[in-house]
Amino acid sequence: MRRKNKILIILLALSLILTSCGARTYSETVFALDTFVSFTLYEEIPPEVKSLIYSYEKMFSRTDEKSELYRLNLEDKANVSEELYSLIEESLKISEDTMGAFDIRIGEITALWDFKSDHPMPPSDEEIKKALSLSRGEIKLLEGTYIESASDIDLGGVAKGYIAEKAVAYLRSLGIESGLISLGGNIASFGKKPDGEERKIGIRDPMSASDTVGYIKLTDGFVSVSGDYERFFLYDGKKYHHIIDPSTGMPAEGNISSVAVISKDGVLADALSTALFVLGYDSSIELYEKGIYDFEAVFIFKDGTVKATDGAEFYRD
């Protein structure tokens, strides 16, 4: 709870700074999708956009017993909404293209990692082994919108990017031309600021919640950050975070502390930030150079080094 308060204070301070720059800014933050979701617009925030977030939560949550995904995971075969169907379809494609670094079949594994517990501890080797074998089952996209899945699906690495896209589209459909939406580590920017300036999205220093290493200039697009500092616990002096290497069932190891992915495609930005974290720098650059996906990335290494791809409009502080 204390952490939540801290973040709220930061958000509040942020909205005050924004307000002091001229055009009146309206900011609002709600807790949804297991994180803080905030909207910054230059007009009143339509309440429907919040309802939209909650309705997607009811579609994509792995843990909410009333969600559509929960029902699919329980029944193994179900007729689902077109949106759930297409998000799973897209996730499978990204999984293939990232050599399984991104893999939504890890539901049984993520269920073992309780980052919210008062006394979190890593699962046993046996538990991991069992969950790993359960995470290898095929997902079949059947006729109509039927899905059959032999593994429990977790959309935590991609849903926020999808919802960010939908929220922007909704606001635009109302004639709202500019704003910023933040869902946990996923930021959506649309339109220039009223003063004509491009938006600057600060990239957090993984070592310190109150510092940034630089910023990305962004007008229309998405920035998604996956970092080992977002959800983690320490046990016996070792850090366990929430980005899982699907080949081991354990938090992905390596020399990266966070990856920011910038793309016009919110789903891609979100899924790839998770995937690149697991892949590590060299394989990520290979994927980048293949050119099958249009994205840019900023990598922050554990030793503090920062590397950005050529097209990332990243500027150091």
Q: Which residues bind ligand ADP (CB under 6 A)?
A: 102-104, 106, 110, 154, 156-157, 160, 184-185, 226, 230-231, 242-244, 246, 270, 273-274, 278
Of 202, 169, 168, 177, the residue nearest 23 (C-alpha)? 177
Which of 135, 151, 178, 273: binder of Mg ion (CB under 5 A)?
A: 273
Nearest CB to Mg ion, comparing residues 134 and 261:
261
- Minimum gap (Å) between residue 270 Cβ and ligand ADP: 5
- Minimum gap (Å) between residue 34 Cβ and ligand ADP: 8
Which of 270, 284, 288, 298: binder of Mg ion (CB under 5 A)?
A: 270
User: Kind of pairing, strands 306-308 and 199-205?
Assistant: unpaired
| Phi (first) and psi of residue 307, to 5 degrees | -130, 135
**Should residue 205 be labelled a site residue for Mg ion when binding is judged by CB under 5 A?**
no
Which of 157, 184, 214, 266: binder of Mg ion (CB under 5 A)?
A: 157
- Minimum gap (Å) between residue 94 Cβ and ligand ADP: 9
**Residue type (1 letter), 41:** L
- Minimum gap (Å) between residue 69 Cβ and Mg ion: 17
- In sign, the C-alpha dihedral spanning 195, 199, 204, 205 is negative
Considering only the stretches 72-80, 124-132, 198-206, 267-275, report the one whose residues sit in contact with Mg ion under the rule CB under 5 A. 267-275
Nearest CB to Mg ion, comparing residues 182 and 274:
274
Nearest CB to ligand ADP, comparing residues 48 and 253:
253
- Minimum gap (Å) between residue 44 Cβ and ligand ADP: 28
- Minimum gap (Å) between residue 177 Cβ and ligand ADP: 27
Of 63, 65, 91, the residue nearest 147 (C-alpha)? 91
Nearest CB to ligand ADP, comparing residues 39 and 102:
102
Q: CB-hemisphere CA count at 13 Å for 232?
A: 19
| 3 state SS of 170 | helix
Nearest CB to ligand ADP, comparing residues 243 and 298:
243
**Should residue 263 be labelled a site residue for Mg ion when binding is judged by CB under 5 A?**
no
- Minimum gap (Å) between residue 24 Cβ and ligand ADP: 30
Separation of alpha carbons 176 and 46, rounded Å: 10
**Should residue 274 be labelled a site residue for Mg ion when binding is judged by CB under 5 A?**
yes
User: Kind of pairing, strands 77-79 and 221-227?
Assistant: unpaired
Nearest CB to ligand ADP, comparing residues 160 and 199:
160
Q: Where are the beta strands (DSSP E) in the chain?
A: 26-32, 35-41, 77-79, 139-141, 146-149, 179-183, 186-190, 199-205, 208-218, 221-227, 232-235, 238-241, 244-245, 250-251, 256-263, 296-301, 306-308, 314-316
| 3 state SS of 135 | coil
Instruction: Report CA 235 to chain centroid distance, whole Å.
Output: 25
Separation of alpha carbons 218 and 308, rounded Å: 15
Nearest CB to ligand ADP, comparing residues 141 and 250:
250
Q: Which residues contribute to the site for Mg ion (CB under 5 A)?
A: 157, 226, 270, 273-274
